[in-house]
A and B are shown apart, each in its own frame.
Chain A
Amino acid sequence: MHGLQPADPPRVGEYVALARLDAARSPRVPPERRYLARGADGERTVLVSLPAPGADPARWAAEARWANQLNQPGFWPVAELGGTAAFPWHASPYQPALPLTAALTAHGGPLPEGAVRAVGAALAETLASAHVLGITHAGVCPAAVLLTAYGPLLACFGTVRAAAPEGTPRAGLPGVDQECLAPEHLAGAPVDPRGDVYALGAVLAYAATGHAVPERSEIPAGLRPLVSACLSRDPDGRPEPAHILAELAPGAAYGTLTATAEPVSLPGRVVAALATQSANALAAELPTHPTEVR
C-alpha cells in the first residue's frame, strides 16, 4: 500500500481513494491503476481498478464487463463496474492482496523455489480450468498475480486484448508487460492459450530470479527445463497448463490448489507484508473532507 500521487484521482465513482496498491515507481509498470478505496459512508472498502494511463478505455471496459461475468476459480473477481465511457472502473471488496512484484520487494529478492512451485502450480491450475472453457486470460504478468492468504489470484483480465485490435504490433502499448508477451503476440497475432503459457513461464522466471527474461543459468536447476519449455518461441513447443501443474506439484490433485479453504504456505516476509497491508487498511480513515482533495 502506497501513498496517493498528485495524478491519482481523489474519487472513483462513489469511492474515495485511500492508497495505491502499486508503488509509484514500481519495478514493473502495472497494467492497471489500482487503489484501496472506501465508500463515503465508511462502510465498504474496495480494491478499485482503472485502465493504465494512455490505454483505450472502451476496450478496457469491454474486458472488464467480460471479467465481471466470469466466475473462474483463481481469477480475481470483478464485482462491480462503474464510471463512464471515458473513465471506466471496476471494483471488488477489499481483501489483503500483494502483487507478485510487491511480494518480491517484501521478500528482498527472488522467492524460494518451494514458493515459486506453489504459486506456479496454483496459476497453472487456474489457466487449465480457464483454457478448458476456451477462456484465454491474456493478461498474465507478475503485477497481475495478486498473492492472498489463500493463494494467488489472476487479475488484469484481457490486458493484451484490450491494448490494441488484433494484428497491431504490441510493442510498447500502455499497460502491457512486454517481457511477458509471446513473440507471436508481440507481433500482433490473436491471443490464444499458448500465450498465457508463455506468460506463465515469464512469471515463474520472474518469481525465481527477479527477471521475467532471465539468463538460463539464473533459473534454479529444478525449474529450468519447465520454464524454458514455457518460454519456447514455438507456440506448439509450450506445455499444456495441466502438464505444468503436474511438473510443479507432482501428485497434487487437480482442482485443489485454487480457491482453497485453508491459508497456503507463503514466505514469512510475504505474510508480513500481507498482514501489514491489512492492518494499514483497517487503520485507514477517510479524509475528513474528501471533496476538497485535489
Chain B
Amino acid sequence: MLSALLHDDPHAIGPYRLLARLGGGGMGTVYLARTAGGRTVAVKTLHDRLAAQPALRARFRLETDVARVIGGRYGAAVHDADPSAPRPWLATEYVIGPPLDVAVQAGGALPAPAVRVVGAALAEGLARLHRSEAVHRDLKPSNILLTATGPRIIDFGIAQAIGAEQFTQFGDATGTPAFMSPEQAAGLEHGAAGDVFALAGVLVFAASGHGPFGAGGPAELLFRVRYAEPDLGGVDPDLAPVLARCLAKDPANRPTLDELATALGAGEAPPSWVDALPDAVLREIARRAAEVWRTPPDRQPPPPPDAPAPAAAPTAPGPSRRRLLALTGGAALAGAGLTGGGVWAWLANRDTTKDDARKPGKPTATATAAPAKPPARLWTFPIRCPEAYGDVLPTKQGLAVPAGIVLTGVNAESGEGTWQANMGDGWRWASDGTRVYALREHDEGRSLVLGEIDPTSGRLTKPRVDTTDFAGDEARNQLLCVAGGRAYLTARTTSGNRWYLLAVELRTGREHWRRPVDEPGDQYGPPFLGGSVTGENLFLWRKDPYTEAVEVAVHATRDGRQRWSETEGYSSVPPSRVVRDERHVYLCDEAVMARDLSDGALGWLFGENGSRDVGDSAGEERVYGAPTLRDGVLYCTEGDRGVVAVDALTGSLNWLEKDLDGRRLNRDVPPVIGREYLYSLDDQGLRAVDLTTRRAVWTYETDATVLTPDYARERLYVRELRETFALPLA
C-alpha cells in the first residue's frame, strides 16, 4: 500500500514531511506524511501544472469543503487544508480499511446485515452532503473504505454543488460508468437522486459481488445503465425490493436517502458491524492497521544522467475518442487497485491539460503555408456529455445540439444555451433544416406521438401524429427523416412484435402508407442506420445484423415499395451517413462507388483495385473516408494523402490535395466545403484547404468529433467531446 517517493517528489508539503506515496493519478498524488509532532496523515495534492488552472483549483477547493462537510464519521476527518497554496493540499486522517471492491474481492459478497449497515451509514453521510447543497456524483466501491467502525466515503474529486453546472463533466471524470446514474450516463444533471441510484448500485455490488449492470466496456455499461433492468441476482430477498426502487430509471421514482436509511434499518439497534464482516475483510483491516507503521521504502534515486527521460505522452496520433473513454476508465480502475486505505484514486484527465491549446487565438499554423492564420472562435458552448457525437442541427431560430438523450437549444449568435429537453435516443429526432421533430411516448407508452420541438422553449408542440397502433414505449422506434412535409419512421406495433416503415403527413397527421420491415437486429439499436429522401426516393441503409455489411435500399416515397437493395461489404465501421444526389448513391470504402439511384446498378468506381497510388499510410483503415457532396463534386479523404475531389456524374478525378504529409486523416467525419476553403479533420486538428491552391493553409488544433456546416449563417460548428464552438465558414 505504501510505495516509495519518486526522486522528484517534494520533501514537504505545507507543514507535512512526506514519507511515502499512497497513490496517484493524472490529477494529483496522495502521500503519507507527518507533522512535526509526529501525527501521520494522508496529504492529497494537485499537480503543479494543473494547479495553475482556476477551474481545477476551484474544484480542489470544493473537494476540501465537501471533505469537511462529510467529516470523520462518514469520511476522512480533515486535519488541515490549503487550497490556495501554490501547490494546493488537503490533509486528512489516514483511514484504515480496504476499499469495498478490494474487500469483496478478498472475502466475497458481504452478508446482508453488513450491507444494511453500509447502506444506512452511506445514506446518512450522503444526506449530510446533500443538506449542504452538494452531490457526490462518483460513488463507487473503490471510493468507499470499510473500516472497523463502519464505511467511509472518500474521494470527492468530482463532487459538485447542486445546480452548479447543467451537465455532468463526463470528459473530466469518467471512472467506471458501472455505478453512474442513468441521467449522468445521458449527460443530464445528476442530482441528489443520482447519488441514491449510485448508492443502490454500490449496495448491489456489496451484496452480490457484481454491479447491477454487470461489467464491460464503458459504452456498453453506459447503455445498460440507461436502458437495462438492474441485475439483483444474489442480493438478499429482503434487500432487493428497496434497492430495485433506488435503481429506478426515473429519478422521481427513487426513494429519498431518509427513506432508504429507514428501510435499511438505520436507527434500529445497530448490529455489531465488525461481527458481520467476513474474516477476509477483517484481515484486510488488520493488515492496513499494521502496514502503515512499517518503515516506508526509500525514496527512489534519480535516473542516471544518460538515461532517456520518460517519454512524454504522445499527442499524436492520439487514440480515438471512444478509445480514450475506455482508457480513462481503465486508468481509474488501476488507480483504485494501487491505492490502499485513506487514498483517493484520482482519475486520469488527459484533456484538461490541453486546455491552453484549445483556447481561441492559440492555434498552430501548418508547416506548409504559414501566412494564413486560423480564425478565432465566434463562441464556445461548453456542453459535456458522454456521447458528443451527434450533428449540430441548425434550425431557423437557433441550433439544437444533441447531448446523449438530451437535446439542447443554443443561440446561434451568442452560443448560449437556451433550453434542454429530454428526448430519448438520438434516433428519435430529426431535422428538415428548419425545424426539429421528435418521437415521444404518450399515455404511459400506449400511444406514439410525433411532434415538433418548439425552437424557443424546447417543448414538444401539439402532436402532429398520435397513434395507438404503435407502442410509444418502444425505445427503438426511429424517426428516419422529415422531408417534403412528411415524416418517415419505423415503429413497433402495439400488439405483436411487428415492425413497420411508415410515411406520415405532418400537416394532417394522416398515415400515407406502411410497409413491414424486419425487426431490428440489435437488441438496443434502431432498425436503420439512417434515412433520407431525394425526390421520389426514400433512401435507407442498415447494418446487416450478421455481417459487417451495409444494406442500402431505395423505396418509392409514393407508396413505400422497395425499388432495389444492395448489400455492400465494409472493411471497417459502417458509415453513419450515406450521400446521394438525384442520380447516384455514393459509398466510400476500399474504393468510391456510385450506384444508380433508380435501380442500384453500378454507375462508376473510383480508385478500385489499387488503380490509384494512395500511399502506404492507409494501414488497416479504409482507403476512402466519409464523403461530402457539393455542387456535383464528391469530396473525401484518400488514404492519408489528403482530400480528393471526384466528379459525381462521371467518377473522374477533379483534383487531389497537394503537399500534405505526415498526418493521419480522419476517415469518419466528412469534410465541409466552404466558398474558399475545404475543412477536414486529421490528427493535428481542423485543416483548412484552399480550394484554389489545393494546399492546407492553416490548422486549428482540436480533437473534434463532429463538423457541421451552417451555410445560412456562414458558420462551421466544431464539436469536441466537451464543448462545441463556432468558426466562420469561408
Interface residues of A (CB under 8 A from B): 38-39, 41-43, 45, 93-96, 148-150, 262-269, 271-272, 274-279, 281-286, 288
Contacts and interface: CB of A to CB of B under 8 A. Distances in A.
Contact of A275 (B38, B39, B93, B147): B147
B53 interface: no
Given A95-B293, A282-B93, A271 B37 contact: no
B282 A42 contact: no
A283 B93 contact: yes
Nearest to A273: B148
11 contacts: A93-B293, A148-B290, A263-B283, A263-B290, A272-B149, A274-B289, A275-B289, A278-B96, A286-B36, A286-B38, A288-B37
B37 A285 contact: yes
A211 B167 CA distance: 64
Contacts of B149: 272, 275-276
A65 B425 CA distance: 78
Contacts of B273: 268
A285 B287 CA distance: 23
B132 to A, nearest CB: 25
Contacts of A269: 272, 274-275
B282 A96 contact: no
B286 A266 contact: yes
B286 A276 contact: no
Contacts of B147: 275
Contacts of A96: 289-290, 293
A149 B290 CA distance: 7
Interface of B: 34-41, 93-94, 96-97, 147-149, 272-277, 279, 282-290, 292-293, 295
Given A96-B290, A278-B293, A279-B96, A264 B283 contact: yes
A268 B275 contact: yes
A265 B93 contact: no
A70 B30 CA distance: 39
B577 to A, nearest CB: 59
Contacts of A277: 289
B677 to A, nearest CB: 63
A277 B275 CA distance: 18
Nearest to B277: A268
A264 B276 CA distance: 17
B472 to A, nearest CB: 53
A115 to B, nearest CB: 11
Contact of B37 (A93, A279, A286): A286
Given A278-B292, A278-B293, A271 B282 contact: yes
A43 B34 contact: yes
Nearest to B96: A275
A58 to B, nearest CB: 32
B292 to A, nearest CB: 7
Given A268-B275, A272-B148, A285 B292 contact: no
Contact of B274 (A148, A263, A271): A271
Given A95-B290, A265-B283, A285 B274 contact: no
A149 B289 contact: yes
A284 B94 CA distance: 12
A268 B293 contact: no
A271 B38 contact: no
B286 A271 contact: yes
Contact of A45 (B38, B276, B283): B38
Question: Which of B34, B37, B279 has most A Cβ within 10 Å?
Answer: B37
Nearest to B37: A285
B279 A278 contact: no
A95 B292 CA distance: 9
Contacts of B282: 265-266, 268, 271
A115 B436 CA distance: 71
Contacts of A264: 283
Contacts of B279: 265
Contacts of B274: 268-269, 271-272
A278 B38 contact: no
A43 B295 CA distance: 11
Contacts of B93: 279, 282-283
Contacts of A285: 35, 37-39
Given A149-B289, A269-B274, A269-B275, A276 B37 contact: no
Contacts of B94: 279, 282
Contact of B283 (A38, A42, A262): A262
Given A271-B148, A275-B97, A42 B289 contact: no
B290 A42 contact: no
B34 A42 contact: yes
Question: Which of B96, B275, B289 has most A Cβ within 10 Å?
Answer: B289
Contacts of A284: 38-39
A45 B295 CA distance: 11
A93 B290 CA distance: 12
B272 A268 contact: yes
Nearest to B38: A42
A283 B290 contact: no
Contacts of B96: 275, 278-279
A27 to B, nearest CB: 22
A222 B82 CA distance: 59
Question: Which of B97, B276, B285, B288 has most A Cβ within 10 Å?
Answer: B285
A149 B283 CA distance: 7
Contacts of A263: 283-284, 286-287, 290
A16 to B, nearest CB: 9
A95 B34 CA distance: 17
Given A268-B272, A269-B274, A274 B286 contact: yes
A11 to B, nearest CB: 14
